[in-house]
A and B are shown apart, each in its own frame.
Chain A
């Protein structure tokens, strides 16, 4: 027996490792909303690096725009160019401030209409792979964020928190294929479920008899237990009716432009 183990030590350990990996994955499947100690530790470890890289990237981009292209200025134009540079910098800052102002005003408008306490957060990273649609925000459990909280912007829903570290959290975007949100068509209250499709959404289980058209707005139904009722999800772009079946499928364009997301709001649970 011992000889057998000695002879096949490597393949046996290999199989054991594979079994461990499989068990870990299958166990995680049952506890998706749970952030393990390992995940918390790695998120915590990565958090300062994220912040540093984020601020360095922003600074570098700003400096690149403002300074690098002005290095080879001729001597006699230095004074003039300095002035231009200063004005450009001021203009860029003002534009940035203007954009930020517009974004924050929108968010503020949402905050004033929202009945739930909100936590503003900044996006600091995206999903590590190309297959999934998640983002990382700079707020974590120390700010009161827990798994399963809705994340929104003024235009509509963004996603929900799935993993929380101390100072950062990961958010599953509604456009991810594993994301599902209970929804209804705003004007005739047709119920269904929206699912992510990468860049767009589909609205499934809409009764075939219901009269829906491209351009109709779709909002959250408030029955899924995550998102409050009435938040915009998207607009119907296409209605797919098969020749048979009880339901029709609707293609949606999300109301949020996910490629331009910078700041988001986490809707915190009401304090008892």
Chain B
């Protein structure tokens, strides 16, 4: 529970940065999707159920500040978490490249899920054009962000492992 609340608070801070600071620094175009990166990190490092709750909660928080329909990002980030958890189990998560590869596939998957959800459930005639057009730049920004933030992610993962070792001993 503590970790879920922690992720929610951290997510809210990230969203506030994403809506205020990043547009000032990077302009009005695409910018790094830090919430997606956080979800991927949770997917690769967190246990299944608390992680799933955290991802859903992060998505719902993002929905308050983005888009028109509440629950859209909740659903998408939950699905991304599921994919990251399922695939992440097969990988060596200590390798920092895993997060980079996860970002590459996560960003693409995020865009495809967004398009599919909008086409299936909402009336978004031209929405998919926009998402596809922005995808390359979004990929670039997310990859740059994950490379810059990799020490932070490594620190979080290391802290979690240390806590787990302490509990086990």
Contacts A14-B48, A28-B69 hold; do A53 and B21 have CB atoms under 8 A apart?
A: yes
Is B35 interfacial (CB-CB < 8 Å)?
yes
Is B53 interfacial (CB-CB < 8 Å)?
yes
Query: A134 contacts B126, CB within 8 Å?
Result: no
B-side interface residues, number (CB < 8 Å): 56
Query: A25 contacts B129, CB within 8 Å?
Result: no
CB 8 Å contact bits of A231-250 with B (1 = contact, 0 = none): 00000000000000000000
Residues in A with CB closer than 8 Å to B161 are none
Is B12 interfacial (CB-CB < 8 Å)?
yes
Residues in A with CB closer than 8 Å to B134 are 130-131
Residues in A with CB closer than 8 Å to B64 are 38-39, 42-43, 46, 163
Query: A129 contacts B24, CB within 8 Å?
Result: no
Residues in B with CB closer than 8 Å to A162 are 68
Is B71 interfacial (CB-CB < 8 Å)?
yes
The docked-state distance in angstroms from the alpha carbon of A21 to that of B65 is 17
Most buried by B among A46, A127, A129, A172: A129
Query: B19 contacts A125, CB within 8 Å?
Result: yes
Is B146 interfacial (CB-CB < 8 Å)?
no
Q: Which residue of B lies closest to A39 (CB)?
A: B64
Query: B20 contacts A125, CB within 8 Å?
Result: yes
Q: How many A-B residue pairs have CB under 8 A?
A: 154
Query: A14 contacts B35, CB within 8 Å?
Result: no
Contacts A21-B74, A25-B74, A46-B12 hold; do A129 and B133 have CB atoms under 8 A apart?
A: no
Residues in B with CB closer than 8 Å to A28 are 69-72
- Interface-located stretch among B26-34, B37-45, B94-102, B151-159: B26-34
Shortest CB-to-CB span from B152 to chain A, Å, is 20
Q: Is the interface of B mostly helix, strand, loop or mixed?
A: helix
Q: Which residue of A lies closest to B75 (CB)?
A: A21
Shortest CB-to-CB span from A3 to chain B, Å, is 20
CB 8 Å contact bits of B84-103 with A (1 = contact, 0 = none): 00000000000000000000
Query: A130 contacts B16, CB within 8 Å?
Result: no
The docked-state distance in angstroms from the alpha carbon of A65 to that of B151 is 31
Is B149 interfacial (CB-CB < 8 Å)?
no
Q: Which chain A residues numbered 245 to 267 have a C-beta less than 8 Å away from chain B?
A: 258-259
A-side interface residues, number (CB < 8 Å): 53
CB 8 Å contact bits of B2-38 with A (1 = contact, 0 = none): 0000000000100110111101100111110101000
Query: B126 contacts A57, CB within 8 Å?
Result: no
Q: Which chain A residues numbered 192 to 235 have a C-beta less than 8 Å away from chain B?
A: 195-198, 202
Q: Which residue of A lies closest to B28 (CB)?
A: A259
Query: A17 contacts B53, CB within 8 Å?
Result: yes
The docked-state distance in angstroms from the alpha carbon of A18 to that of B64 is 19
The docked-state distance in angstroms from the alpha carbon of A244 to that of B19 is 44
Is A50 interfacial (CB-CB < 8 Å)?
yes
Query: A134 contacts B68, CB within 8 Å?
Result: yes
Contacts A10-B48, A14-B48, A130-B31 hold; do A198 and B130 have CB atoms under 8 A apart?
A: yes
Give the A-binding residues of B (Cβ under 8 A): 12, 15-16, 18-21, 23-24, 27-31, 33, 35, 48-49, 52-53, 56, 59-75, 78-79, 82, 114, 117, 121-127, 129-131, 133-134, 138
A to B CB contacts below 8 Å, 16 in the list? A10-B48, A14-B52, A14-B82, A17-B52, A24-B74, A25-B121, A28-B69, A42-B12, A46-B12, A46-B65, A50-B19, A128-B35, A128-B65, A136-B19, A162-B68, A178-B124
Further pairs besides A17-B56, A50-B20, A178-B127: 17, Cβ < 8 Å? A17-B52, A24-B60, A38-B60, A124-B20, A125-B20, A126-B23, A126-B28, A127-B19, A128-B15, A129-B73, A136-B19, A136-B65, A170-B65, A196-B126, A198-B129, A198-B130, A202-B126
Give the B-binding residues of A (Cβ under 8 A): 10, 13-14, 17-18, 20-22, 24-29, 32, 36, 38-39, 42-43, 45-46, 49-50, 53-54, 57, 61, 124-132, 134, 136, 162-163, 170, 172, 176-178, 195-198, 202, 258-259
